[in-house]
Amino acid sequence: MRLIPWKEQLAVDLGTAHVHICVKGGGVVVREPTVIAFSADRRRPVAYGSEAKQMLDREVSEVQVVRPLQGGVVADFDATVALLRHLIHQALGHRPLLAPTVVTAAPTRATQVEQRALTTSLRAAGAGQVLAVPKVLAAAVGAGIAMDDPQSRLILDIGAGATDVGVVAMGMTAAGASIHFGGDDLDEAIIRFLKRRRSIQIGTARAEEIKTLAGAVAPEPAGDPAAAGLEELTPNNNSGSNPSLDAIPELLAQAMRPAVAELQWVLESIPEKQQEEIANSDGVLTGGCALLRGLDRLVSQELALTIKTATDPGSCTILGLEAIMNDLRALTLNGRRFAQ
């Protein structure tokens, strides 16, 4: 597959929670929440990204706020296209004369329907040629794993809407799966907990704020400065109460365990030789949820493997896509090499 040299090239990481866009030669220029707000009749967008996210849980009159991706895949095609079109123009700073080539990340075992929805959304938003690579491969490259490394490595990318698990070696995904579990499920666990145990009702934006403040999936040691301020958090509610929320880290740990059990089942289904290789190498944890302290320890204990968190887990996918975009000749997908 040959690329037209004078076409602009973009790397786009379209996640459930955030969109990252990188321009070739210009680095990452867009980091925005995957949220768009429309007028009530859905005839025109009125806010994008951070501005639209501020309207969540606020019940702004005559405005409909939409999160167009759910579970890591496109759920609202029109909203996805409108958001991507705006952000692509923002990244380029102009309307391109030729539709730019886009390198993007797809769920590791995306169905044909899910992958078609992703590529079609990008093309409808103004992209030309679209190259979709498995998310775990992009995350692996962004975490610093060389594409020519022959050693099989386990990659766990836990995002807001989905968890991608895969084994990568020599620039290829040898095995993998996508699990519909992520940070949104942790937010939902917080919402249910506060409603059931404390009779407090909150929205998703507030639940995400509480999760971020807790910042861990296990109770913090006594006197740990990272835990400071958790007890003082007062959720938005009508009761005026100020409940202690020090139970949130343990709640998050319990919410993670079913997903980790499913990861164990995925690992047991891969060939024995690769199981031996990943047992002798460090696995890598990426994605926004990897920012939760203690998650790497929890996963390591449950899987009986050594799992380490990437240096910048939330940016691994877009940094990997940027590296792939800069060296497409090193990329192999389904036995085909691009940009020969």
Nearest to 23 by CA among 93, 122, 81: 93
10-residue mean pLDDT profile of the chain (340 residues): values are: 66 97 95 95 91 85 92 94 96 84 90 92 95 93 86 93 90 84 96 90 91 84 45 45 70 93 87 87 95 95 94 96 84 46
Residue 159 has a pLDDT of 95
Nearest alpha carbon to residue 149 among 284, 291, 266? 284
Beta partners for residue 64, in sequence order: 38
- Report how far Cα 219 is from the mean position of its chain's Cα atoms: 25
What is the per-residue pLDDT for 157? 96
The dihedral built from the CA positions of residue 251, 207, 164 and 74, taken in this order, carries a sign that is positive
Residue 257: HSE in the Cβ half-sphere, 13 Å Cα cutoff: 7
pLDDT, residue 90, reads 95
Is 235:202 a contact under the CB 8 Å cutoff? yes
Would you state the pLDDT for residue 85?
96
pTM given for the model: 0.87
Distance CA 119, CA 135 (A): 14
Q: Which of 135, 105, 103, 127 is nearest to 24 (CA)?
A: 103
Domains (ranges, CATH) in the chain? Answer: 9-139+316-337 (3.30.420.40)
**Helices within the chain (DSSP H only):** 49-53, 77-92, 112-124, 135-142, 183-197, 204-214, 248-268, 272-279, 295-303, 316-326
Residue with tokens 């400065």: 225
Query: What pLDDT is stored for residue 338 in this prediction?
Result: 41
pLDDT for 59: 74
54, two tokens: 């501020």
Q: Is 147 helix (H, G, I), strand (E, B) or coil?
A: coil
Q: Which of 227, 225, 268 is nearest to 248 (CA)?
A: 227
* Per-residue pLDDT, 335: 40
Select from 108, 18, 110, 114 the least CA-distant residue to 75.
114
pLDDT of the residue at 329: 66
Of 190, 200, 188, 189, which is closest to residue 241 (Cα–Cα)?
A: 200
Backbone angles phi, psi at 238, to 5 degrees: -95, -5
Q: Quick one: pLDDT at residue 171?
A: 78
Q: What is the pLDDT of residue 318?
A: 97
CA distance 205 to 86: 23
Check: CB of residue 62 under 8 Å from CB of residue 153. Answer: no
Please give the structure tokens belonging to residue 261: 């059990």
